[in-house]
Every structure is written in C-alpha cells, then in structure tokens.
Amino acid sequence: MSARLSTEGARLGARSLWPVAFLDVLCVLALFSADWAGAAETDLPRATVLELKIDREVEPVLATYIDEGLADAARRKAALVLITMDTPGGLSDSMRDIINHILTSSVPVVVYVSPAGARGASAGFFILLSADVAAMAPGTHAGAASPLIGVGAFPVQIDETLRRKITNDATAYLRSFASQRGRNVSLAETAVTDAKAFTEKEALDGKLVDLIVASPEELFHQLDGRTIKRFDGSQTKLELRNPARAPFELSLRQRFLARIVEPDVFFVLLILGVLGLYTEFTHPGLFAPGVIGGICLLLALYAMHILPVNVAGVFLIFLALALFLLEAKFPSHGVLGAGGVVAMFLGAIFLIRSPLTGGGVSWRRRCHLLCSPCFLRGW
C-alpha cells in the first residue's frame, strides 16, 4: 500500500513539474530570440551622414570644398548631407556655385544654422533656403540678404535703376528655388528688398525653415522616417536611426589656400614679397630673396581677388615699394626708407577692412611685424 502511494506521489510530482519546465524553455527561447534580433539589428548597415561646415565667409575655396563634399556623399551613397552654417555672407558667385550643387545633389541636403549665436546672413540666407531641409538652432538668426556692390572694402553708391536691377535679379534668383522648396517666397524676398533678418522662431513661423533643433542628434531623430520632396519633384524617405556620422574636412590644398586669404597672412606675404625684392635689388646675385619675394607677392595677388581690398591701401603699398627702391638707389640718409615704412604701415591700415564681415589685418600682428628685429634688419 505504501509503495503504491509513493508511486502515485511521484507521478503527481512529475506531472506538476511539467508546466514549470515548459515555462523555463519558453524563457530560454525568448532570450535567444531577443539576442538574435539584437544581433541582426546590429548587423544591419547604418545610414551614413556626411557632415560639412560653412563657418566663415563664402568664397571660392569654400565653394570648392562644398562641391567636393557633395560629390563624395554621392560616391559613398550617403543617406544625408548635413551642412552646419555660421557665416556673415560672402561672394555672390561662390554662393551661386554652392546653391547649384545643392539643388542638383543626388543626396538630400540639410543646412543647419548652429550653434547658438550663429547666423546665416546675406549669402548664407540664400544657401539656407536652397536646402532640402532648412533647420536652425535656438538663439540663431538669418536674413539681411540685400546685395551690395563694393570697390575695395567700401560699398559703392549706385543709381536707382542699377540698384533695382541688382535687387530684382537677386529676388528672382531666390524665388527660382525657394518656391520649389515650399518656402514663404514673399517673406523671403523682404530679406533682399528690405534687408530684414529673422530669429529662428520668426523663420519657423514664417515658413522659411522647417525645424528648430538644439543638436544634430535631435535633428536626425526628427527627420528619421520623414518623407521629403526633392528639388526635381521626387519623394525620398529618410532612414536615419542611429546614423554613422562622417565629417568631411578641408583638403590640405584647401586649408593652404584658405589660410592665404586671411588678412593677417596676406599682409605678411606682401611684406615678405616687398622685402625679398628689395634685398635682391640691393644685393644682386643672392637669388633666394628674389625668388621668395616673387612667390610671396604672387600669393598675395591671389588673395587680393578674394579679400575686400581698399584701392588707397594698394597705392600706399606700391608707394612704399617705390620709396624702398629709391632708397637703395639714391643716398637719402634713411629719409626715403623711413617714408617707405610709414607708407607701408598706412597701407596696411587701409588695405583690408570689410564693413560687412569685420575682417581686417590685426593691429597687434601688424605692429609686431613692423617692429620685429627681423623686419628692422632688412634695412
């Protein structure tokens, strides 16, 4: 009797353990399936976002950099190009070159005015409105895109007919792509005709931009899964979950050229060019000063095509060069040489000073150069 009872108890115990064992098996399978799903999601290729920057005046070197970046994004089959912008404006030809490449880009382009305190002014406003997606960070602004004509560093007063012609050309160019992007064209035109500027909230409420985001991560999160309309009318759905961000930097050549056109470097090149030719003229047969001076002067001439150069500053520099040469030819007890130093210093003051960007030769570097022992030894 007791043996039968123990057998029945064993059967009941084994039968009661089956649900527990079944639940354990289900848990193990669930864990394996979760791990397999996570591994499969990890193995999926991540979308690539190529990141470019417009962080200074719009000029030919920067336009080439943007063009090469967009071409590289197409070769990589990137999901998106992010152009972070903080610019006071620049040259209209370079602006149009950048916009043309954005409009024809096979990869969607986002222009993002960032960080806080940044601006997309003048030419930057045109570039912002040309993008597939226009975004701004809190505390930024854009606009003030009235075209100006200048000789040297100063705007030129023009007659009313020519002013209207230039303004109408700029507004027509803005309408040609802003309307295709679904922007508020009438409000955008006021940035050209009335030089209006807009905060990020004003731009969003006026349908000039699409988003206000505080960071690129928030931008990608809001754009993930969104379908956007391209300039050619096609529809593209953005897949930006956990994208792989790839910065695109300036090439060595572009960094070199961008450095040359900085006002301080330009002024140093001009000084070295003048001193090199002066030394070669006073000590014929050395060759090295003449070669170095010629190269520096050619580089300075290249920079003059980009920088806002004042004509009076150029004439003062040439006057200084003439005085240096005369000092080497005629004994004046240093009077001509001293006049050359004064003319060179005044030329540096007037040479580069942009009323729009504030760019100019730094006083500290200028005085340090003119007062350095190396400079004085040239005499």
Mean pLDDT of 335-352: 78
85: pLDDT strictly greater than 90: yes
The closest of 248, 243, 139 to 199, measured between CA atoms, is 139
Mean pLDDT of 45-65: 90
Contact call for residues 294 and 277 (beta carbons, < 8 A): yes
Mean pLDDT of 33-54: 65
Interstrand relation of 227-229 and 119-121 (parallel, antiparallel or unpaired): unpaired
Amino acid in the structure at residue 53: K
- Res. 321 pLDDT band, cuts 50 70 90: confident
Mean pLDDT of 18-38: 48
189: pLDDT strictly greater than 70: yes
Top CATH class of 48-251 equals: alpha beta
* Token pair listed for 54: 């417009």
Measuring CA to CA, how many Å separate 369 from each of 121, 288, 340? 33, 21, 15
- Res. 163 pLDDT band, cuts 50 70 90: confident
Q: How many CB atoms lie within 10 A of CB 314?
A: 16
187: pLDDT strictly greater than 60: yes
100: pLDDT strictly greater than 50: yes
Distance CA 129, CA 132 (A): 8
Three-state secondary structure string covering the chain: CHHHHHHHHHHHHHHHHHHHHHHHHHHHHHHHHHHHHHHHHHHCCCCEEEEEEECCCECHHHHHHHHHHHHHHHHHCCCEEEEEECECCECHHHHHHHHHHHHCCCCCEEEEECCCCCEEECHHHHHHHHCCEEEECCCCEEECCCCCCEECCEECCCCHHHHHHHHHHHHHHHHHHHCCCCCCHHHHHHHHHCCCEEEHHHHHHCCCCCEECCCHHHHHHHHCCCEEECCCCCEEECCCCCCEEEECCCCHHHHHHHHHCCHHHHHHHHHHHHHHHHHHHHCCCCCHHHHHHHHHHHHHHHHHCCCCECHHHHHHHHHHHHHHHHHHHCCCCCHHHHHHHHHHHHHHHHHEECCCCCCECCHHHHHHHHHCHHHHHCC
Contact call for residues 348 and 375 (beta carbons, < 8 A): no
| Location of structure tokens 């040239």 | 378
State the Cα angle at 346 between 340 and 349, rounded to 5°: 145
- Res. 361 pLDDT band, cuts 50 70 90: low
Mean pLDDT of 361-379: 43
Compare 17 and 195 and report the one with higher pLDDT: 195
Mean pLDDT of 116-123: 95
- Res. 315 pLDDT band, cuts 50 70 90: confident
Check: pTM over 0.85? Answer yes or no. no
Measuring CA to CA, how many Å separate 347 from each of 50, 295, 324, 339? 43, 20, 14, 12
Distance CA 282, CA 335 (A): 17
Residue-wise pLDDT for 238-291, tens only, equals 999 889 999 999 888 888 888 888 878 888 888 888 888 888 888 877 778 888
